[in-house]
Structure 1
Amino acid sequence: MTQDSTIGTRAKRLDLQGLRILAVGLVIIYHLYPGSLPGGFVGVDIFFVISGYLIVGSLVRELAKTGSIGLGTFYARRIRRLLPASTLVLLGVMVASVVVLPQSRWQEVARDVVASALQVQNWNQAFGSTSYEAAGELVSPVQHFWSLAVEEQFYLLIPLLLLVAAACARLIKRGAESAALWLLLILAAASLIHSIVFSRQSHDFAYLATTTRMWELALGGITALVFSRLRLNSLTQLAAGWIGLAMVLVSAVTVTTTMAFPGYIALVPVLGTVLIIVAGAPGKGVAEFDRFGFSRFLSLRPLTYLGDISYSLYLWHWPVIVFYILLAGQQPGIVAGVGILLLSLVLASLSYHLVEQRFRHGKPATPTGEGNQPPRVQNRSAFALAAGLILLSCLSAAGPWSVVQAKSMQTVSDLATPDYPGALALDTDRNVKVREGVEIIPDPAIAMKDKTRLYRDGCAAYDPAKIDDSMCRYGDPTGTKSLVLIGDSHAGQYLEPLEAMAKTHGWRVRAMVRNGCPFNAAPAASATVTYTNCSSQNAVSLDKILGEKPDRVVISAMTPHGYNESLNWRWESDDVVVDGYEQMIRPLLTAGIKVSVIADNPYPERSIPDCVARNGAQSPECVTVRQQTKDPLLTAAEKLSDVQVIDPTSFFCVGNSCPPVIGNVLVYRDNHLTTTFAETLETLLTKKLALP
C-alpha cells in the first residue's frame, strides 16, 4: 500500500494518484460494508501493481543507466517514506488499546504492533489465523499492515536480484534492462504458479504469504519495462482504460473470501490494473479520444489529492473501524460509516502534511558533487531514524505486554481451599459456601493463557501418522488400567481433571485430541473445503484404540452450533453427525471397551474474560444462555446401548443461566473452559466414571 510518486516515471503520472484512491476506496468500502462489496479487498492487488510499476521500473532504469543500484539510497528512501507515518499509527493503536481494550487483549495487540513494526505482520497473521486456537479472537487493529509487510519483504529482495541479473548479463554481453525483464518474467511465473497451487490448498494462508503475491509486484515492473517501449494509439488506450476498470469492478463485486484467492482469480483485477496503467501512458494518434479516457478522470485534482494521502488513509481507516465496533458493539451503519470515513480522512490529511511530507525528503548533506550535481541526502540518518522508530514501536508494546505478563507469573491459591470451590459451588450434594469478595482466578487478563497442558506438550493436534504411540501419555505410568481421551479441543479441556483422577486410582491416560476434529466419521465442511483429513485420521485412531484395547474411552466434542459460530464449519444435518459418531463408537462397544461421552459445555456468545473485566463477575451481561439444541454426540450415545452419558451442565448453569464465574473461578477463556475451572470438575468426573 505504499507510494512514491517521484520515482518510476520520468514525469509524474497524475492518473496513478487517482488510481490509488480507487484502490483504497474499494478496501474501505469492503471493510465498512463487506456484504455490499465482497471483493473490495482486490484494492490491495491494485496497490501491488502500482507499486511494482513505479518502484521496480525506477530500479531497472537506474540499473540500465548506471550499471548499478544505490542500495543505501533506495532503502533510505523507503524508510523515510514509510516508517514515520506507520509508526505514528502503531503508537496511536497501542495507546488506544490500553485505554479501550481489557487487559486480556493487550498482549495480542502488542504482539501485532511489534510484528508490524518489524514488517512481518503477514506471517504473524498467517500463522495465527490458520490456528484453530485463534478462532474467535479479536480482529487486530493493525492486521492491515500485512500488505505493507509483503511489499517491504519484496523490496528487500528485488534490488539484490536485479544486481545479480545485471552481473550475469555482463558476463554474456547482454543489456541490464533485458536481463531484468527476464528476471521479472521468471519470478512472476514462478510466484503465480505457486499462488495458484497454494491457494487451492490453503487460500487463507496463501492470501497473506509474500511468495503468492510477488507476481503482482513483478507484473507491475514488467508493465513499466514493456510499455515504456510502446506508444499505443488513443483509441486503444481509451478501450484499455474502461475495460481495465470493468475488470476491477467486476472483481470487487463477485470475488469473495471463500474463493481460492489470490491464485488465478487475482489475474482479473491485476490485469485490469495493468490496462488502466497502460491507458494513461504517453500515446499517439487521435487526441480527441483523450477527453473520454478513464485516465483523464483519474487525473482530476480532488482524486489526485486523495491519492497523495492514500497511504495515510489506508493506515488510519482500519484502526478507526475496529475501535468504533469495539466501542459501539455493532457494525457501522450509513451515518456511522460516513463519520468513520471523515475521521479517517482528517487523520490521513494531518498525517500526510505533518509527518509524511516532513520526513520524506531527508536532510541534505553538505554538497560534495561538482558542477550542477544535486546535493546528496544523508542515508545514515535514515537508518538511524528507522532504528529509533522501530525501537519506539516495540517499547510502546513492551509496557502493556509486561503488565499482563506479570499477572501470568503470579501463583494462585490451591484450588482445594474453600475460597475457590469452582464447579463444586453448584454441587447440591455438598452445599458448598462461597466466600464473597475474593479475587477471582484466573485473572481475566490472563484467561487465554489458562489452557490445558496438551498445548505445551505438543499433543493438542494429535496425528496418528506423526505422533509416536509413546507420546501424549498421562496419569499413573505404572497403572494396570488405561483410559483414552479422544475428540477435539473441547475433549482436551478435560485432560487435567481426568489425569488427577487417574493418578489417584492408578490408571494410565492416553490423549488422542486434535483441535477442530471431533471423533466422527462424517467430515465437516466450510464454504470451500471439506475436511476429510479429520475423518480419515479418526479411522486410523479407531484402529489404534482397538489394537490397544483400553479399559475406558472418554469422548467429548464441541457441538455443530459451536463449530458454525467459531469456525463457520458445518455438516449437512445433525443426523449426519449422529451417524458419524455411531460409526466410531459402535466398534468400540463390539470390542468390549467401555465408552463414556461428556456433553459439551454451553457455548458463550461473547468473550467472557473481556465482559468480566469490563462489567464485573456478577454482571448479567456476562451470563451465557443455555442452548436448547440437542448435542448429536449425546443422541448417538442414547441410540447405542451401554454408552455412559456424563452431562456436567448442572455444574455450569443454574436453570438456563450460566454465570461467568462459579465458586470464584472464571469459567471460560474463550469458548473453552479455563483449565483452572476444568480442574474443579474432578470430583464430578470421579463420581460419574466410578473408576475402580
Structure 2
Amino acid sequence: MRHASAVKRANNGTGHAPRLDIQGLRALAVGLVVVYHLRPEALAGGFIGVDVFFVLSGFLIIGSLAREAAKHSSISVPAFYARRIRRLFPASAAVLVAVLLGTVLLLPQSRWQGISADVLFSLLQVQNWHQALSAVSYAGATGEVSPLQHFWSLAVEEQFYLVIPFFFLGLVLAARRLNRAADTFIVPALAAVALVSFAYSIYLSNNEHTLAYFVTGTRVWELAVGGLAALVPAMGILTGRRAALASWVGVAAVVIPVFFLTTDMPFPGSIAAIPVLGTALLLRSGSAAAAVPWSASRVLSLRPLTFIGDVSYSLYLWHWPVIVFAVALLGRAPRIREAVLLAVLSLGLAAASYYWVEQRFRHPSSRNTGWGGHRKVYVLAMCSAVLVTVAAWAPWQVVEVKRAQLSTALSDRDYPGAQAWSERPAAVPAGMPVRPDPSVAMQDVPATSVGACGVYDPATVPDTDCWFGSQDQQAPVVVVVGDSHAGQFVDPLVAVSKKIPLRIHAMVRNGCPFALTPPRSADTVYANCSAQNAITAEKIIGQKPDLVLVAGMREDGYRKALGWHWSPESPLAEGYVQSLSRLRGAGLRVAVIADPPYPGGNPVECLQKHGKQDQCATSAAEALAGTDTLVTAAGSVPGVETIDLSRHFCRDGVCPVVIGNVLVYRDNHMTNTFAKSLAPDLAVALRLG
C-alpha cells in the first residue's frame, strides 16, 4: 500500500491550495519560447520551454486525476473533457479566427490555402503530425512558415488528454477485480509508461530527430514525469533549506541548457531529461521551499512573474502569429527594438485574451456543472468548431477557383512564355492576366511531384515506374536524372513527345544532385544521396537509353536554399565528373542543361505584394552569380553536351518574373507552365527528331 499512501500524501501543487511558484514557472517557460522565436540566435535552446509546459501539464492533470481515482474509485470522463474544453478551446478558437483574418488582410493569396489547412489541423489537434510528416524544422520564423505551427505542442497535450482518463479508468477496473485500492497501481503504471516513451524518444531522436521532435510518443514521458512528480512523496528529505537548494538546482537544469541546446541535436531524446527532471525537481520542492526567503520558489512567486504565468497560455497562442505576420510584412527577421515591440504587443493581446476570453469561459456557474452543463459545453464547442471550419473554407475556396485554371490549356498565341524570347519571337498580346495566377503558382508543379518520382530511390522504386511520354515501346528513351531542377525538364520533354515520340524515364530525387560526393549537411535524409547516385548510374547504364539528360541546381543555389556545401577534399565538381564519366564510359549520349537563373527573393510573393513586374525582377549578375558546377564538370568529360537556355530568362541584364504573359518562377523553380513553353527550343538544342 506504499503507492496508495503516496498518492494521498502527494498533494503539493495539485490540490486546491494555490501554488504561485507554478505560475512563475509558467512565466519562465513561455519567456524562453518567446525569446527563442524572436531572437533564436540569442537563445538557441529556448524551445525547451515547451518541455517545461509538458511537465507542468502532467504534474497538474495527472495529479488531479490520480486523486479523483483514489477518492471515488472512478473518473468522470465527461467532466474531465468539459474542463479541458473550457480551459483551452475558447482562446485557441479566437486565435484561429484572428489568424484567418490576418491571413486574408496581410498575406498573399498563395499562402491562403496552406494556412486554411493549418487551421483545420490545429482545430482537430493533429498539427504535430502535420508538422512531423512535413519535416518542418521548428526554428525561428520566416516569411513562409505557418503562423499556426506552434499549435503542435497543444496537439500533443490534447492527444494525451484523450487517452489519460481511460488510462486511469483501466487502473480503476483492474483494482476492482483484484480488490485493491485504485491508487495502488498508479505510480508503477505511470513509471512504466514513462520508461517506454523515454526509450522510444531516444531511439527516434537518434534516427529521425525532426520527426521525433513533433510526434506524440516521444513526449508522453515528459508528461508522465510531471505526473510522477505530483504523486511520488518527497520521503521527508526536501524540507526547508534542502528544498530551497533543490529549487535552484531545478531552475539551473532548465535555464543553463538553453544556451547549449539546438534543434540540430537529437532532441527530445536523452538530453531532454535535463530540463524535464529539473522542472520536476522544482515542482516537487516548491511547497517546502516556499518557506525559505531565498528559494527559487519565492522568486518565481513574485507578482510580475505570476501575472505572466496567468496569461502564459494566451501569450503562447498569440506570440507566434504576431511574429510570423511581422516577418512577412518586414520581409526580414525583426531587429532588437522591433522584437521588444512585438513581445509587448503579444503580451497585450495575451492579457486581453486572458481576461475577456479565457476567464469568461473557464469557470462555469454552479448550474452548469452537471451533465446538462457539460453537454452545453460540448454543443457550444462543436458549433464554434463548425464556424471556424466555415471561416477557413472561404479563403481556401477563393484560391481553389484559381487553381482550377491550372488544368486548362493555355493558348500559345496569348501565352507564348519562353517563345516570346525565342530566335523567332512570338508576339505577346497586351492586357492578358498572368498565368499561372501567382496565388496558385506553387501548385504548378511537374509530373515528378506526384508519388515517388520526385524522390527516386533505385532500391525501392520499380524500374517500370516514373515513365512519361509516348506509349510506343520502340520510341527513343530519354532518362532525366538529377535533383528537382532536373525534374523541371520532364514536362517539356513530354510536350516534345506529342510531336516526336519519346519515352521519358524520370530518375529524379529532390535535393540530390547527380554527383558521387555527398554534401555536408546535418540532414540525415540526404546522407545516402551519393551512394544512391552510384546505383542509379548503374541502372541507367543497364537500360542503355538513347539520351541521358542531367540537370541540377547551382552550388550557390544549394547554399542559399538548403545551407549545404561540399568539402575541399570531396568537392561537388569531382562528384559530377565521376558520375558523368561513368555514363560516357558506357558509350551513352549525355547532355547537361545549365541551371536556369536563380531568382532573388520570392518572386511569387513579390508579384502579389507589389503587382508590378519590374519591381520583382532580378539582375542577371545576381541570378547567374557563381559557377555552374555541373556545366564546369561537363566541360572536363569528353563527349558530354551542354545546353544553355538562359537567353530565355534574361535580357539586357535583367531576369524578369513574367515572360510572354507567363509567370516564370514559383520559387527557385520554374512554373510548369513556363517550363513547357521551353519545349520547342529544348527539342532543337537536344537534336530530337
Q: Which moved more, 1:502-511 or 1:348-357?
A: 502-511
Q: Secondary structure at the match of 1:672?
A: coil
Q: 2:194 aligns with which of 178, 188, 201?
A: 188
Say if 1:413 and 1:89 are closer, same or farther in 2 by CA, change over 3 A: closer
Q: Deviations over 1:297-332 (max 9, x none)?
A: 111122112111111111111111111111122222
Residue matched to 2:3: none
Residues in 1 aligned to 2:22 and 2:233: alpha-carbon distance in whole angstroms: 15
Residues in 1 aligned to 2:614 and 2:108: alpha-carbon distance in whole angstroms: 16
Residues in 2 aligned to 1:217 and 1:477: alpha-carbon distance in whole angstroms: 57
Say if 1:228 and 1:12 are closer, same or farther in 2 by CA, change over 3 A: farther
Residue matched to 2:357: 355
Say if 1:154 and 1:338 are closer, same or farther in 2 by CA, change over 3 A: same
Q: Secondary structure at the match of 1:432?
A: coil
Residues in 2 aligned to 1:234 and 1:654: alpha-carbon distance in whole angstroms: 78
- Tell me if structure 1 keeps the 8 A contact 2:491–2:675: yes
Q: How big is the shift at 1:456?
A: 2.8
Q: How big is the shift at 1:338?
A: 1.9
CA RMSD of aligned residues (A): 2.2
Q: Deviations over 1:615-661 (max 9, x none)?
A: 12423234363232111111110000110111111111124421000
Residue matched to 1:437: 431
Residues in 1 aligned to 2:272 and 2:562: alpha-carbon distance in whole angstroms: 25
- Tell me if structure 1 keeps the 8 A contact 2:142–2:327: no
Q: How big is the shift at 1:573?
A: 4.3
Say if 1:336 and 1:136 are closer, same or farther in 2 by CA, change over 3 A: closer
Instruction: Within 5 Å, give how 1:341-420 maps onto structure 2.
Output: 341-365=343-367, 378-410=373-405, 414-420=409-415
Residues in 2 aligned to 1:613 and 1:670: alpha-carbon distance in whole angstroms: 13
Q: Secondary structure at the match of 1:563?
A: helix
Q: Deviations over 1:348-405 (max 9, x none)?
A: 1111111101101224337xxxxxxx97771101111221222122111100000000
Which AA in structure 2 matches 1:321?
I
Q: Deviations over 1:658-677 (max 9, x none)?
A: 10001110011111111000
Q: Deviations over 1:214-262 (max 9, x none)?
A: 1100100011010366562212211111111111111111101111111
Q: 2:79 aligns with which of 73, 77, 81?
A: 73
Residue matched to 1:492: 487
Residue matched to 1:599: 594
Q: Secondary structure at the match of 1:313?
A: helix
Q: 2:456 aligns with which of 458, 462, 473?
A: 462
Residue matched to 2:338: 336
Give the share of equivalent positions with the same residue, in percent: 47
Residue matched to 2:4: none
Q: 1:680 aligns with which of 662, 666, 677?
A: 677
Q: 2:624 aligns with which of 602, 624, 627?
A: 627
- Tell me if structure 2 keeps the 8 A contact 1:474–1:508: yes
Which AA in structure 1 matches 2:418?
A
* 1:613 maps onto 2:608 in alignment: yes
- Tell me if structure 1 keeps the 8 A contact 2:455–2:509: yes
Residue matched to 1:588: 583
Instruction: Within 5 Å, give how 1:225-374 maps onto structure 2.
Output: 225-227=231-233, 230=236, 232-282=238-288, 290-365=292-367
Instruction: Within 5 Å, give how 1:218-229 maps onto structure 2.
Output: 218-227=224-233
Residues in 1 aligned to 2:370 and 2:152: alpha-carbon distance in whole angstroms: 35
Q: Secondary structure at the match of 1:143?
A: coil
Q: How big is the shift at 1:569?
A: 2.5
Q: Which moved more, 1:488-497 or 1:161-170?
A: 161-170
Residues in 2 aligned to 1:576 and 1:128: alpha-carbon distance in whole angstroms: 30
Say if 1:152 and 1:414 are closer, same or farther in 2 by CA, change over 3 A: closer
Residues in 2 aligned to 1:452 and 1:337: alpha-carbon distance in whole angstroms: 40
Residues in 2 aligned to 1:604 and 1:292: alpha-carbon distance in whole angstroms: 58
Q: How big is the shift at 1:274?
A: 1.2
- Tell me if structure 2 keeps the 8 A contact 1:15–1:298: yes
- Tell me if structure 2 keeps the 8 A contact 1:597–1:645: yes
- Tell me if structure 1 keeps the 8 A contact 2:617–2:654: no
Residues in 2 aligned to 1:417 and 1:634: alpha-carbon distance in whole angstroms: 31
Q: Secondary structure at the match of 1:163?
A: helix
Residues in 2 aligned to 1:445 and 1:346: alpha-carbon distance in whole angstroms: 33
> Which runs of 5 or more structure 2 residues have no equivalent in the other structure?
1-10
Q: Deviations over 1:16-75 (max 9, x none)?
A: 001000000011111111111111111000000011000111111111111111000000
Q: Deviations over 1:539-576 (max 9, x none)?
A: 22111111111111001111222222222222224961
Instruction: Within 5 Å, give how 1:513-592 maps onto structure 2.
Output: 513-527=508-522, 529=524, 531-573=526-568, 576-592=571-587
Residues in 2 aligned to 1:362 and 1:341: alpha-carbon distance in whole angstroms: 31
Which AA in structure 1 matches 2:663?
L
Residue matched to 2:91: 85
Q: How big is the shift at 1:412?
A: 7.1
Q: How big is the shift at 1:173?
A: 4.0
- Tell me if structure 2 keeps the 8 A contact 1:487–1:519: yes
Q: Secondary structure at the match of 2:548?
A: strand
Residue matched to 1:119: 125
Q: Which moved more, 1:92-101 or 1:249-258?
A: 249-258
Residues in 1 aligned to 2:569 and 2:605: alpha-carbon distance in whole angstroms: 32
- Tell me if structure 1 keeps the 8 A contact 2:142–2:332: no
Residues in 2 aligned to 1:343 and 1:532: alpha-carbon distance in whole angstroms: 42
Which AA in structure 2 matches 1:159?
P
Which AA in structure 1 matches 2:366?
P
Q: Secondary structure at the match of 1:668?
A: coil
Which AA in structure 2 matches 1:456?
V
Residues in 2 aligned to 1:462 and 1:126: alpha-carbon distance in whole angstroms: 21
Residues in 2 aligned to 1:8 and 1:356: alpha-carbon distance in whole angstroms: 21
- Tell me if structure 1 keeps the 8 A contact 2:665–2:671: yes
Q: How big is the shift at 1:607?
A: 1.7
Which AA in structure 2 matches 1:398?
W
Residues in 2 aligned to 1:454 and 1:462: alpha-carbon distance in whole angstroms: 9
Q: Which moved more, 1:404-413 or 1:590-599?
A: 404-413
Q: What number of residue pairs does the alignment pair up?
A: 673
Q: Which moved more, 1:352-361 or 1:516-525?
A: 516-525
Say if 1:136 and 1:509 are closer, same or farther in 2 by CA, change over 3 A: farther
Structure 1 length-normalised TM: 0.93
Residue matched to 2:5: none
Residue matched to 2:40: 34
- Tell me if structure 2 keeps the 8 A contact 1:460–1:489: yes
Q: Secondary structure at the match of 1:466?
A: coil
Residue matched to 1:370: none
- Tell me if structure 2 keeps the 8 A contact 1:6–1:12: no
Residue matched to 2:218: 212
- Tell me if structure 1 keeps the 8 A contact 2:51–2:275: yes
- Tell me if structure 2 keeps the 8 A contact 1:15–1:295: yes
Residue matched to 1:371: none
Q: Which moved more, 1:531-540 or 1:241-250?
A: 531-540
Which AA in structure 2 matches 1:467?
V
Q: 1:200 aligns with which of 203, 206, 213?
A: 206
Which AA in structure 2 matches 1:660?
V
Residue matched to 2:445: 451
Q: Secondary structure at the match of 1:438?
A: coil
Structure 2 length-normalised TM: 0.94
Residue matched to 2:181: 175
Q: Secondary structure at the match of 1:365?
A: helix
Q: Secondary structure at the match of 1:343?
A: helix
Residues in 1 aligned to 2:127 and 2:370: alpha-carbon distance in whole angstroms: 36
Residues in 1 aligned to 2:666 and 2:568: alpha-carbon distance in whole angstroms: 29
Residue matched to 1:369: none
Q: Deviations over 1:581-620 (max 9, x none)?
A: 1111112111110000111122223221111112124232
